[in-house]
Amino acid sequence: MESPELGVGSLKDALFILESGEVYRNPTEVKMSQIVLPCHANHCGELSVGQLLKWMDSTACLSAERHAGCSCITASVDDIHFEHTIGVGQVVSIIAKVNRAFTSSMEVGILVTCEDLYIGKEWKVCHAFASFVARRTETGKVQLKQVIPHTQLEQVEYSLAAERRRMRLIHVETITDLLSNCAAQLAGECQEHKDAIPAEKTRVESVELVLPPHANHQVSTFGGQIMAWMENVATIAASRLCNAHPTLRSIDMFHFRGPSHIGDRLVLKAIVNNSFKTSMEVGVCAEAYKGGEPLRHINSAFMTFEVLDGDRKPCMLPRIRPEPVDGKRRYQEALARKKIRLDRKYIITSKQTQVPLSVPWDQSNQMYLSLNNVSALKIMVAKTNWVLTSEKNKVSLYTLEENQVLCFKVEMKVNIPADQTFHLLSDLRKRMEWDRHYEKCEVVLQADEEDTIYRVASPSITKGGKGQDFIMLASRRQPCDARDPYLIAVRSVTLPTHPPTDDYTRGEVLCAGFCIWEESSSVTKITYYNQASPGVLPYISRDIVGLSSSYYCIFSACSDFLKANKTCLGAPPPPPAAP
Ligand code: COA
Ligand code: ADP
């Protein structure tokens, strides 16, 4: 069995967590197992992704309804990457559980695995995060009960769910902004290829009548059914380009904009927007109407297909000749989406340890780097096996060694309100006032209200040696609700405008930052975390082995700085600086 990535592992582990000697099972967990029959498969004997999406949606909906205690609808599904196809005769298992409830919406984590009964092997097919909303009642919006995480992995998922939600809710604006920026850069980027296939040849239009089996007991069309119909037309469009059997690799995040009901006619339109060397983007639009009413936009999705040869390697694909105006726009937007998709896949879904120390920052990956930055810190915050290494006047230094990675944290309490502490620690330039490792600190770029890139210079630890400098992205987060802390996450990035110089050794910070908990209206717990990269270790190694307590001097200076600025009014974020 492949080890599931963080974020999904909790789903598999949930059954086996022992708490006070008992087997713990998450109360929202729902499992479905299906043997793949020919009626679920396409002509190549592989489970149709549409059928899989229906099963995923029903399992996740049952989990959401178990938590909500009322009927729920699918609001959105984040990016899904399919790692394997599933054959007839194999068993598909789906596990879903609610990671977090907000007001009326919930994030449900879904893990799909496949099992070959004859060879006794099981592997991961995909994971997904879907958002479900409790249906409004006559009295208005439903207020859901909180999810209480019980295990460390549930705690991580709970914490990350808030971060993913933030990205989800601004997804449309983020993509629109990025597309308009990229479109300007790509204007005219529409090469004429000699043997290009006219996009028109791939166009599909199909209608479905929503019947009772397609809907739940509330007469609303199942989200999974709509996704299945969309996948069906997308597959036809993709097949028309390659004249072969296409394999669906990924579906971009999408949102069900409005409901559909029994009796609706669902009009599904698809076309290949662009084809790259070995993959193509198919766009699908689903609209509904009833009688003479105008069309309602239900959903638009973008799917990436490949064609695999006998060795399961992707084949070269024909190029596409877009139609004028809309076709050309979609062709360029598909190019931009390809870049965004790569950033998202690389930065969001890779395991933390696989993201390189310094990731190049640019406007199109800003959102994802920020999410990665905060998520990495949240994962460190959720770890429980810290060892107390040193303590002085209630300032404690802890370490944690795991998979050959050393992390440390310093914890203390201050009599300053949490929001003021957050405000004072948020601007890294103020750290020069209390941390002697911050010799210089300047704002290099103000990406948005919550994300700032700084250049920090630190003195050398050896006499006459070179100092180190760091280009760091600081991402700030206010609590999503009372159960969340304030966070200031820091990680290294690279910027072409700020290459390493001869005067300094370029240091790197993998994951660091502050977690600020409100203990009462006047008492705040501050924890500083750092995953000790080679650039950081020399500054703390003597403290860790007990030869020094410089951490104490720095953090008591921090405490003094906070006290001295206790009443300092909230200042606006640092001014924008040219890149
Ligand atoms: N992804 C995840 N959650 C979303 C979302 C998205 N893209 N857009 C809105 N939501 C959440 C909101 O954050 C809010 O959650 P909260 O109460 O926990 O804060 C919740 O949906 C309701 O938001 P609200 O502002 O009250 O309503 P809305 O006008 O934004 O409508 C839906 C949101 C999902 C209810 C609405 O778009 C809808 O009915 N879509 C169709 C859903 C459906 O029928 N699906 C089945 C297949 S058709
Ligand atoms: P956009 O046109 O901005 O891409 P839409 O939501 O209108 O966004 O459509 C989503 C996708 O659905 C399009 O990118 C296209 O691939 C496909 N599509 C939309 N309209 C049609 C149509 N009339 N025929 C075929 N495919 C269509």
The reply to whether ligand 1 has any atom less than 6 angstroms from the CB of 257 is yes
Residue nearest to atom 33 of ligand 1 (CA): 75
Mean pLDDT, the chain, as a whole number? 89
Task: Let me know if residue 120 belongs to a domain.
Answer: yes
Q: Choose among 330, 331, 344: nearest CA to 253.
A: 344
The reply to whether ligand 2 has any atom less than 6 angstroms from the CB of 270 is yes
Task: Let me know if residue 162 belongs to a domain.
Answer: no
Q: How many domains does the chain have?
A: 3
Do 455 and 345 have their domain in common? no
Do 260 and 238 have their domain in common? yes
Do 371 and 435 have their domain in common? yes
Residue nearest to atom 30 of ligand 1 (CA): 257
The reply to whether ligand 2 has any atom less than 6 angstroms from the CB of 255 is no
Task: Let me know if residue 207 belongs to a domain.
Answer: yes
Do 343 and 429 have their domain in common? no
Going by C-beta distance under 8 Å and a sequence separation of 6 or more, which residues neighbour residue 567?
none
Task: Please tell me the number of the ligand nearest to residue 272's CA.
Answer: 2
User: Residue 189: its pLDDT value, please?
Assistant: 61
Task: Let me know if residue 175 belongs to a domain.
Answer: no
What average pLDDT does range 345-351 have in this prediction? Answer: 64
**CATH (domain of 505):** 3.30.530.20
Per-residue pLDDT tens over the stretch 3-55: 333 334 444 544 454 556 678 889 999 999 999 999 999 989 999 999 999 99
Q: Choose among 529, 336, 361, 374: nearest CA to 446.
A: 361
User: Residue 278: its pLDDT value, please?
Assistant: 95
Token reading at 548: 């020094």
The reply to whether ligand 1 has any atom less than 6 angstroms from the CB of 73 is yes
Do 343 and 394 have their domain in common? no
Q: Which string of DSSP letters, residue by residue, matches 87-150?
A: BTT-EEEEEEEEEEE-SSEEEEEEEEEEEETTTTEEEEEEEEEEEEEEPPBTTBS--PPPP---
Residues 532, 481: Cα–Cα separation, whole Å: 30
Do 396 and 335 have their domain in common? no
Do 493 and 384 have their domain in common? yes
User: Residue 497: its pLDDT value, please?
Assistant: 93
Distance between alpha carbon 336 and the CA centroid of its chain, in Å? 19
Q: Which domain holds residue 277?
A: 186-349
**Which of 152, 175, 204 finishes a domain?**
152
**Which of 297, 331, 349 finishes a domain?**
349
Task: Let me know if residue 169 belongs to a domain.
Answer: no
Task: Please tell me the number of the ligand nearest to residue 238's CA.
Answer: 2
The reply to whether ligand 2 has any atom less than 6 angstroms from the CB of 268 is no
**Which of 107, 130, 152 finishes a domain?**
152
Residue nearest to atom 12 of ligand 1 (CA): 105
Q: Counting Cβ atoms within 10 Å, is residue 469 exposed (0-12), middle (13-18) or buried (19+)? A: buried
The reply to whether ligand 1 has any atom less than 6 angstroms from the CB of 167 is no
Do 253 and 197 have their domain in common? yes
Task: Let me know if residue 34 belongs to a domain.
Answer: yes
Task: Please tell me the number of the ligand nearest to residue 227's CA.
Answer: 1
Residues 227, 57: Cα–Cα separation, whole Å: 9
pLDDT band at 363 (very low <50, low <70, confident <90, very high): confident
| Listed range (146-150, 184-188, 264-268, 481-485) with the worst mean pLDDT | 184-188
Do 222 and 266 have their domain in common? yes
Do 424 and 544 have their domain in common? yes
Residue nearest to atom 22 of ligand 2 (CA): 269
Task: Let me know if residue 180 belongs to a domain.
Answer: no
List for the chain the helix, strand, coil content (%; round to 5): 30, 35, 35
User: Residue 180: its pLDDT value, please?
Assistant: 79
Do 339 and 365 have their domain in common? no
Task: Let me know if residue 213 belongs to a domain.
Answer: yes
Do 396 and 448 have their domain in common? yes
Q: Choose among 489, 488, 457, 452: nearest CA to 470.
A: 457
**CATH (domain of 54):** 3.10.129.10
Per-residue pLDDT tens over the stretch 493-509: 999 999 999 999 998 88
Per-residue pLDDT tens over the stretch 397-412: 999 988 778 899 999 9
Residue 480, pLDDT > 60, answer yes
